[in-house]
């Protein structure tokens, strides 16, 4: 069933369509969901928001990639574990990953079933948070944060011969990794970089000394904000080649953003993409709920703050990825509309992302009523 819908009704229409017209179909461990058609954007209009991509499970933190001409989305799989909401994020108690795929944005979405389960990760204790994936030389790599048995977030890696898994986890997390939200970027010369880090529940504030300290330590308001991290991946894609470095995010004045710059500074959810030869580092500002971005001339920075890509969405967290497919750019993100606003029960959506002629990005407001 197809319908031309105002953007904000599309999610609810999809749910209805799925229920009434059999929009969700299961084939073995895979489930397919039809996407509603949305009216094409005009130059003056914002692009339509499509999704939730799937409605029979909650999905969040979407890391999208194009592999073999198809779009694969590596999300968190949100569940309600009955844990009360706390600042340390314990209620985000996810235990596995499902991978979604589609031929094109707006096409049928396939849920490939469980790709990796917590019980099959020897070192992990709880909370499988935002993952990402990469491809090299015939192998697919799933990078994921989880708390180890000592309740410290680490970043693990698992491998598969298929982009949709199943993935087999390495016996130990990546040496030198910590905190959450890994994302891997492949540069044009074949180098791979991992960016990671997240404040509060993601524990980045416990690594300021270079070692894990249980107490939270934050810079004073007038000091540089906590930095996300970057490391080049070694040839084996399972270890870091060299030291973990700070990612510097500068203001337009060339000085590092400060801890008090809450509406601009890094909190979590890093992503890196390249556009017209420039490196775009984007991230969530956390407690101010923006997806912001900064541009640089090198994959390791420094990056200069530019503005907001995605304004706050329904729910507390904001998390995204950016890909190019068939000459168009897309922003994948999540919100809590399907769960009626529950912060830990989110759903992945997608919309087109547009650049201005000067390379800046047109901000997106997914809350705007059409
Ligand atoms: O999904 C758990 C956490 O919420 C992610 O790791 C953060 O980026 C935030 O979206």
Model pLDDT for residues 103-146, shown as the tens digit of each residue: 999 999 999 999 999 999 999 999 999 999 999 999 999 999 99
Mention every residue, 6+ apart, whose C-beta is less than 8 A from residue 307.
292, 293, 360, 361, 363
- Tell me if 366 is assigned to some domain: no
Answer yes or no: is 52 within a domain: yes
Q: Check 61, 132, 335, 352 and give the catalytic one.
A: 61
Q: How far is the C-alpha of 193 from the C-alpha of 182, rounded, in Å? A: 10
pLDDT at 370: 38
Atom of ligand 1 minimally distant from the CA of 181:
6
Average pLDDT over residues 337-359: 98
Residue 46: predicted pLDDT: 82
Return the residue whose CA atom lies nearest to atom 5 of ligand 1: 130
Helix (H, G, I), strand (E, B) or coil at 266: coil
Tell me the mean pLDDT in the region 342-356: 98
Total domain count, the chain: 1
pLDDT digits (tens, 9 = 90+) for 230-261: 999 999 999 999 999 999 999 999 999 999 99
Per-residue model confidence (pLDDT) at position 14: 37
pLDDT value of residue 279: 99
User: DSSP string of 26-89?
Assistant: EETTEEEEPPPPBPPP-SSSPPPEE--S-SSSEEEEEEEEEETTEEEEEEEEE----PPP-TT-
pLDDT in tens, 159-180: 999 999 999 999 999 999 999 9
Range of the domain at 196: 9-353
Task: Provide the sign of the torsion angle of the four alpha carbons 203, 75, 284, 232, taken in this order.
Answer: positive
- Using DSSP bridges, classify how beta strands 124-126 and 109-117 pair: parallel, antiparallel or unpaired: unpaired
- Catalytic status, residue 268: yes
Confidence of residue 1 (pLDDT cuts 50, 70, 90): very low
Mean pLDDT throughout 184-191?
98
Q: Whose CA is nearest to atom 3 of ligand 1?
A: 129
CATH of the domain at 344: 2.115.10.20
Q: Please name the residue that has the structure tokens 């600042």.
A: 87
- Smallest Cα–Cα separation from 13: which of 32, 30, 38? 38
User: Is residue 180 lining ligand 1, measured as CB closer than 6 Å?
Assistant: yes
Whether 28 shows a pLDDT value over 90: the answer reads no
Q: Which of 282, 261, 281 is nearest to 333 (CA)?
A: 282
Segments of 214-277 assigned E as strands: 229-232, 245-246, 249-250, 268-275
> How much distance in Å is there from the Cα of 356 to the middle of ligand 1?
29
12-16, 33-37, 223-227 — which one is most confidently predicted on average? 223-227
Question: Does residue 56 have an active-site annotation?
Answer: no
Average pLDDT over residues 350-366: 98
Residue 313 CA neighbour count, 13 Å, CB half: 31
In a domain, 86, yes or no: yes
CB atoms within 10 A of CB 142: 26
> To test ligand 1's pocket by mutation, which of 79, 200, 201, 315 has the most ligand atoms within 8 angstroms of CB?
201
Q: Do the domain assignments include residue 262?
A: yes
Q: Is residue 359 a part of any domain in this protein? A: no
Count of Cβ atoms closer than 10 Å to residue 149 Cβ: 10
Within-domain flag for 71: yes
d(CA 241, CA 236): 10
Tens of pLDDT, residue by residue over 291-315, are 999 999 999 999 999 999 999 999 9
Neighbour count for residue 282 (Cβ, 10 Å) = 25
Which atom of ligand 1 sits closest to the CA of residue 145? Answer: 6
Task: Kindly state if the Cβ of 130 falls inside 6 Å of ligand 1.
Answer: yes
Residues whose CB is less than 8 angstroms from the CB of residue 131 and which lie 6 or more positions away in sequence, other chains included? 61, 63, 74, 75, 76, 97, 142, 143, 144, 145, 182
- Indicate whether residue 111 lines ligand 1 (CB < 6 A): no
pTM of this structure: 0.91
Q: What CA–CA distance (Å, rounded) separates 181 from 245?
A: 16
Strands 49-50 and 58-67 turn out to be unpaired
How would residue 42 be classed by pLDDT, with cut points 50, 70 and 90?
A: low
β-pairing, 249-250 vs 303-310, is parallel
**Quick check: 44 pLDDT over 80?**
no
Answer yes or no: is pLDDT of 222 > 70: yes
Give 312 Cα–ligand 1 centroid separation in angstroms.
14
């Amino acid at each position: 069933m197809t319908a031309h819908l105002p953007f904000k009704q599309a999610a609810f229409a999809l749910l209805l369509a799925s229920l009434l017209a059999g929009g969700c179909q299961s084939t073995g461990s895979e489930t397919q969901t039809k996407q509603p058609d949305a009216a094409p954007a005009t130059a003056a209009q914002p692009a339509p928001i499509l999704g939730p991509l799937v409605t029979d499970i909650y999905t969040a933190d979407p890391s999208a990639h194009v592999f073999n001409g198809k779009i694969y989305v590596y999300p968190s799989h949100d569940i309600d574990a009955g844990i009360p909401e706390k600042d340390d994020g314990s209620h985000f108690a996810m235990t596995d990953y499902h991978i979604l795929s589609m031929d094109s944005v707006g096409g049928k979405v396939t849920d490939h079933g469980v790709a990796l389960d917590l019980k099959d990760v020897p070192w992990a204790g709880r909370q499988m948070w935002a993952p990402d994936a990469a491809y090299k030389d015939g192998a697919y790599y799933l990078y994921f944060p989880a708390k180890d048995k000592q309740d410290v977030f680490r970043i693990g890696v698992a491998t598969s011969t298929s982009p949709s898994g199943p993935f087999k986890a390495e016996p130990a997390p990546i040496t030198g990794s910590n905190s959450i939200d890994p994302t891997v970027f492949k540069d044009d010369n074949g180098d791979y970089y991992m960016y990671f880090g997240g404040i509060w529940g993601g524990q980045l504030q416990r690594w300021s000394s270079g070692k894990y300290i249980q107490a939270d330590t934050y810079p004073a308001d007038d000091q540089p904000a906590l930095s996300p991290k970057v490391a080049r991946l070694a040839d084996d894609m399972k270890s870091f080649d060299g030291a973990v470095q700070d990612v510097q995010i500068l203001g337009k004045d060339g000085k590092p953003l400060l801890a008090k710059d809450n509406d601009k500074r890094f909190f979590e959810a890093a992503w890196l993409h390249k556009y017209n030869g420039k490196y775009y580092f984007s991230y969530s500002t956390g407690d101010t709920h923006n997806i912001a971005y900064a541009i640089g001339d090198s994959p390791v920075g420094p990056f200069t703050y530019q503005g907001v890509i995605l304004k706050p969405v329904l729910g507390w967290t904001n998390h995204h990825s950016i890909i190019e497919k068939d000459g168009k750019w897309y922003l994948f993100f999540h919100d809590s509309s399907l769960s009626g606003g529950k912060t830990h029960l989110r759903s992945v959506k997608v919309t087109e992302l547009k650049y201005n002629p000067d390379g800046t990005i047109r901000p997106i407001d997914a809350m705007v009523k059409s």
